[in-house]
C-alpha cells in the first residue's frame, strides 16, 4: 500500500513498505512520518541509526514535516494544525484552524519569504466536509497571521521553496504552479493527480497519482509515476513509473548509498517497534476495558448499597420499629448483664 522507493536511472529499489509522508532532510539527517498507528510517529535517521519517535498518544495524521534550524514543524491534518517542536520533538507552539477534525485538510507546510505557510483544501468546519467539493476552494495561507496568500486552488499540496520561487501542486486540476511572491510565473498541466515536488539542477520532478479524488476514467496513467520536467522550458520530457498507486512526496537524496544501506538495516527494527507499539496499544485498550468493567461493578455495588441503606432508613423510621425500641433496649441490657457472669 505504500513505502519509500529509491530511483536512479533505470533502477528502482523499494527501501520501505510502510506508508510514509512528509520526507524532510535536515542538517544532520532524514525525518519522515508514518501513516499507521494514527499517524503519530516520526522516523528519524541520523548518523547511521534510525529511531521511531512518538509525537502524541492521540492520532495526528501527520502529512508533512519541515526542519528549520533547531525546530521541527509538522502538519497535523487530524487536528487542522501546524505544530512546532524542538530538536527533541517536544511541543513548543501550535496554530490550529477552527472546525471539527480534518475539516480543512491542512497537508503541507513551508517557510517562504520569512513566512510559515500551509496549504488547505478550503475553509471548511465539518469533518471531511471537503468530500462534498473542493474545486477553487483551496488556498495557501500565513500560518501565524491567518492571512490568505494564494486562493482559487483545487486540493493544493507539496509546498516547495527553491531560489525564492514557490512551487506547489493544485492536485485536482492536475497542475504544477510556480509563484514568485504572490505573482504567478508558470503553470504546467500533467497527466494525473499531481502531488510531490522536487527541484533539481536541470529538472523538476512531480509526482503523479492514481488518486482516490479523481474518477478512474480520467486517469491518463495506469499507476503512480514521476513526471520529469525540463527546468528551462517547463516541458515534460519523461515519465517514470513506480510500483505504487500514489505519490505523496519526492526528495532528491544527496548520499544514496548511505541511505540505502541504512534503510536496509533499519527496516526490520522499525517493523519491530511498530509491532511493539501495536501490542502496547492493545494492552492499553484491554486495561481500559478492564478498568471500565470494574468501574461498572463498583457503580452497581454502590447502587445496591444505596438501595439497602434506603430500606434500613425506611424500616428505622417505621411505626413498628419505634414501638419495639424499648424491647430492644431491655434486650441489650440483659445481654450486657449476662456477659460478665
The domain that holds 166 is classified in CATH as: 2.120.10.30
Give the pLDDT band of residue 268 (cuts 50, 70, 90): low
Residue bearing the bigger pLDDT, 318 or 173: 173
Domain tally, the chain: 1
Give the pLDDT band of residue 337 (cuts 50, 70, 90): low
Residue count of the chain: 341
**In this predicted structure, what is the pLDDT of residue 45?**
80
State how beta strands 49-54 and 62-68 pair.
Answer: unpaired
C-alpha to C-alpha distance for 273 and 278, rounded to whole angstroms: 9
Phi, psi of 298 (to 5 degrees): -60, -45
Grid cell 414501638 in the structure block, residue:
323
Q: Grid coordinates in use for 122?
A: 478550503
Classify residue 301: in a domain, yes or no: no
Classify residue 272: in a domain, yes or no: no
**Residue-number span of the structural domain to which 24 is assigned:** 4-265
Classify residue 273: in a domain, yes or no: no
Classify residue 230: in a domain, yes or no: yes
3-class SS string, 62-129? EEEEEEECCEEEEEEHHHCEEEEECCCCCEEEEEECCCCCCCCCCCEEEEECCEEEEEECCCCCCCCH
Classify residue 151: in a domain, yes or no: yes
Classify residue 26: in a domain, yes or no: yes
3-class SS string, 149-177? EEEEECCEEEEEEECCEEEEEEHHHCEEE
Classify residue 29: in a domain, yes or no: yes
**In this predicted structure, what is the pLDDT of residue 98?**
93
Angle (CA) 144 145 151, round 5°: 105
As a whole number, the mean pLDDT across the chain is: 85
pLDDT digits (tens, 9 = 90+) for 28-76: 778 999 988 889 999 888 776 778 899 999 999 999 999 998 899 999 9
The three-class DSSP label of residue 271 is helix
Classify residue 297: in a domain, yes or no: no
Amino acid at each position: 500500500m505504500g513505502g519509500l522507493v529509491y530511483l536512479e536511472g533505470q533502477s528502482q529499489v523499494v527501501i520501505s513498505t510502510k506508508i510514509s509522508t512528509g520526507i524532510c532532510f535536515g542538517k544532520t539527517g532524514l525525518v519522515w512520518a508514518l501513516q499507521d498507528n494514527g499517524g503519530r510517529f516520526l522516523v528519524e535517521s541520523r548518523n547511521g541509526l534510525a529511531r521511531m519517535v512518538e509525537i502524541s498518544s492521540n492520532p495526528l495524521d501527520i502529512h508533512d514535516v519541515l526542519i528549520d534550524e533547531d525546530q521541527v514543524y509538522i502538519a497535523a491534518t487530524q487536528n487542522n494544525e501546524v505544530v512546532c517542536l524542538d530538536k527533541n520533538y517536544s511541543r513548543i507552539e501550535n496554530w490550529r484552524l477552527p472546525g471539527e477534525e480534518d475539516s480543512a485538510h491542512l497537508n503541507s507546510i513551508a517557510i517562504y519569504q520569512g513566512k510559515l505557510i500551509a496549504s488547505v483544501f478550503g475553509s471548511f468546519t465539518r469533518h471531511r466536509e471537503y468530500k462534498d467539493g473542493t474545486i477553487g476552494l483551496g488556498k495557501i495561507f500565513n500560518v501565524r497571521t491567518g492571512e490568505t496568500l494564494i486562493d482559487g486552488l483545487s486540493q493544493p499540496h507539496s509546498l516547495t521553496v527553491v531560489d525564492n520561487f514557490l512551487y506547489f501542486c493544485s492536485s485536482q486540476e492536475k497542475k504544477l504552479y510556480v509563484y514568485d511572491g504572490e505573482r504567478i510565473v508558470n503553470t504546467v498541466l500533467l497527466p494525473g493527480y499531481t502531488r510531490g515536488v522536487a527541484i533539481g539542477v536541470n529538472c523538476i520532478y512531480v509526482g503523479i497519482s492514481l488518486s482516490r479524488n479523481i474518477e478512474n476514467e480520467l486517469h491518463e496513467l495506469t499507476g503512480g509515476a514521476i513526471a520529469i520536467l525540463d527546468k528551462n522550458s517547463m516541458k515534460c520530457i519523461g515519465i517514470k513509473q513506480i510500483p505504487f498507486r500514489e505519490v505523496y512526496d519526492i526528495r532528491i537524496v544527496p548520499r544514496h548509498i548511505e541511505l540505502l544501506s541504512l534503510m536496509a538495516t533499519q527496516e526490520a527494527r522499525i517493523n519491530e517497534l511498530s509491532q511493539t507499539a501495536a501490542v502496547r496499544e492493545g494492552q492499553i485498550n484491554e486495561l481500559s476495558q478492564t478498568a471500565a468493567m470494574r468501574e461498572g461493578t463498583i457503580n452497581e455495588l454502590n447502587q445496591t448499597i444505596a438501595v439497602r441503606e434506603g430500606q434500613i432508613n425506611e424500616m428505622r423510621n417505621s411505626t413498628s420499629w419505634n414501638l419495639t425500641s424499648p424491647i430492644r433496649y431491655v434486650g441489650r441490657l440483659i445481654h450486657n448483664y449476662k456477659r460478665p457472669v
